Structure 1
């Protein structure tokens, strides 16, 4: 007679087998919705897709030994879409049943762990992973939904060289990979909210001039002086203007509001109210699920996160003492929440540069990883801030995201702001290339903030990003960069 434990194990195995068999049967039909807007018309692919595709092709050609690709990122940035596109690309290039897509969120609902899924898959294949002769591609979505996923993935790596795994999850995945020594076995393809060029590509099928982006980036960040930066940028003006001749100016406003999240561009979500509702739901999911992967807060502390985000939506800087008092929590708890939100990449922390030119521990400003979150929060609270002020904060979010993606996250630079009166919005320190002070704003800006910080902190030069024309200041220490140029980088 079977023991209760054996009976339970049999039930789990049976459920897992049914789940995996269903995925093998219905995944193609289900994932088509992520890949095609209508029959024979596919959504354009993000740059990250092509890098992941190359890793898989190299594996199939036996050019690389690494067999894992991690796609961590904020909810709503398109991770599932990339997995779906990969599935559609390779489904006919592998043997029958040798490509499997699974969502661990759905697996959990079916009562199956990742290990249960692997056991069931082996049973369905009729061969142990160790004895595989032909390659298999596993696509695992929402991997962080299984608390033991790191151990299970690591064990699989040691069992076979025939399985290539692409897995997506929250930003906490990066932390867990480092903790369990998976980093040396894994390619990282972190997925961020859309750049403006990616936004145009997905929305309008407008493909950017990639070489222009690199030349703009080189001129703006790696020139030895403001004068040389200006001259290089000026030589690119005709190509910049040519790009903007085919861009709808109204798309800039859409991008600043919600266009950084790819799912908001689908025609089914054309209603802005519905879009903001989905952003709010996404935010709640991050707080209740993703945040707990990092912080493990109690119910009372967790309930303070949304009110804190409302505070941050109305300003970039805040007093820790006043905010903790208003929320009814200690400074220690508030800082722990802010650190966790930063690790979850819901917000970007920009520390203050003090009077002595050193980073101030207590003061920081916080930007949202996507301005769509700021907009959704402002709509909920009915914020009475001026449109220009809110737009200014949203633009700072966009600029902060760009600096974070291009320099901070990959370890190429550090970001701060000048907290002195009339100081610059950003001070970007680029490894091996000095510092640059940035002032950011809509309309026409004087450039005083960038100039003041450039002189006080002794940066290479100052840059004012605004609607002004491309100009070099009289003393050759700062330049004005049109937003048109910046958005193409």
Structure 2
């Protein structure tokens, strides 16, 4: 056996023997197990089906930004298998492809072949008992989906979960795609935050807010808003600063219990920095010069209004070629640090107009600004930028929620246009404007007339959901449950 193969075998052995010791640090806080995300509960159902002989749905992918909790879900599944289903540790392999890549170039298929051969004395085709593969950061193997397909096709005794950057959504092998069950793991909305941190899960209010956006019917939502606001004040450990901290620093389970702002900034910035230093290169071969521009672009964008920066302008400001800027924006979107909305209109109209980019969460924008210094915005202006980013990212995550109905979101390029238009199927678009407490409604009224909308929405710093004619006012805090 070559030295490299021996190193991989030692790595596998250490993972089998040591993974259970990661659980206390990863899924417990002060000796109490974290409340799991809803995705865990759904994946657990597939695990149970598999253990009962249903071997159809056994290849799951969890793409998402670093720090949103993908690894935690894997370790929660590991804990469930060990402690509730009595699966032997040697029948579960949890590996980080990032760590494996430090030993040799990551090859998931070869590693699993080695695992089955040396630890189960079998081959993929002859394996006669159930095993579980929990593969973290699988994007370090550019052929991850082909590896998964080959494992899936050769053995019905293997249940697989692959996590990785959001690029996993776009990098399916064509044949693998019909075998995969995909769950996008997004930054936490406030409903999920309350569930994980306090064990309170106001999903009924969350669903009601989602439906309100398109139906315009506020009656039930107002009642649920009152109930939810009353309930959270009685949560054990809940403080009046919880939502403000969530808004500027939240979305990432890894910092949910941190009380020191310095540590929160350090952890989230470290995740962003790691994405730039490590993850970009796993998706596309780029030069170190190209990589060096990445943080400079994010810093520049964090200090601007959404939509203020075009790629041409960035190229000029940073003295960097347009092709390099274009490549980095492509990569930023693939790993979901940034996303964009198109201008509303026909397809040809959209192509001619600039795209409007946002950070994955306002907390990333805020952390970058704290790290490098905020530009000369007033506090109201700066909060307004974060509000707009928050609404944009909430809509984007909802669009990418596989359990929600299909709709699209756009921005309006025309002078005096609203911040967003949301459109479901063949219905007329709904205008959404984001602003401070006394936000003017004229832009929304104008957009409603232009698009023949049934109603319009203003999201601002109000105290409660209200309706004035065909305009619905939603507090930014209530919207955060979406």
CA gap 1:85/1:125 in 2 versus in 1, 3 angstroms = same
Q: CA deviation at 1:408?
A: 5.0
Q: Does 1:239 align with 2:227?
A: yes
Q: Does 1:263 align with 2:254?
A: yes
Counterparts of 1:43-442 in structure 2, within 5 Å, are 43-92=34-83, 93=85, 94-95=87-88, 97-111=90-104, 113-122=107-116, 123-177=118-172, 179-203=173-197, 205-221=198-214, 223=215, 226=216, 229-246=217-234, 248-266=239-257, 269-314=258-303, 315-317=305-307, 318-353=309-344, 358-359=349-350, 361-383=352-374, 384-407=376-399, 410=402, 412-442=406-436
- Which of residues 6, 10, 16 in structure 1 aligns to 2:2? 10
Residues 260-305 of structure 1 show CA distances to partners (whole Å, capped at 9, x for unaligned) of 1110114xx4321122122222112212322233343322222222
Match of 1:4 in 2: none
CA gap 1:401/1:64 in 2 versus in 1, 3 angstroms = farther
2:142–2:283 CA contact under 8 A, matched in 1:
no
Tell me the distance in 2 between the aligned counterparts of 1:319 and 1:153: 39
1:108–1:145 CA contact under 8 A, matched in 2:
yes
Match of 1:459 in 2: 453
TM, length-normalised to structure 1: 0.89
Tell me the distance in 1 between the aligned counterparts of 2:401 and 2:204: 23
The runs of 5 or more residues in structure 1 that have no matched partner are: 1-8
Residues 118-146 of structure 1 show CA distances to partners (whole Å, capped at 9, x for unaligned) of 23312122222322222111111111122
What is the RMSD of the two structures over their aligned residues, measured on CA atoms?
2.4
1:428–1:437 CA contact under 8 A, matched in 2:
yes
Tell me the distance in 1 between the aligned counterparts of 2:57 and 2:279: 27
1:219–1:232 CA contact under 8 A, matched in 2:
no
Residues 459-485 of structure 1 show CA distances to partners (whole Å, capped at 9, x for unaligned) of 332100112343323xx3322122343
CA gap 1:470/1:156 in 2 versus in 1, 3 angstroms = closer
1:220–1:233 CA contact under 8 A, matched in 2:
no
TM, length-normalised to structure 2: 0.90
Match of 1:36 in 2: 28
CA gap 1:64/1:21 in 2 versus in 1, 3 angstroms = closer
Tell me the distance in 2 between the aligned counterparts of 1:403 and 1:355: 21
Q: CA deviation at 1:48?
A: 1.2
Tell me the distance in 2 between the aligned counterparts of 1:281 and 1:244: 31
Tell me the distance in 1 between the aligned counterparts of 2:409 and 2:3: 53
Q: CA deviation at 1:235?
A: 4.7
CA gap 1:51/1:408 in 2 versus in 1, 3 angstroms = closer
Residues 135-161 of structure 1 show CA distances to partners (whole Å, capped at 9, x for unaligned) of 111111111122333332222112110
Tell me the distance in 1 between the aligned counterparts of 2:332 and 2:385: 18
Aligned residues: 469
Tell me the distance in 2 between the aligned counterparts of 1:106 and 1:47: 28
The runs of 5 or more residues in structure 2 that have no matched partner are: none
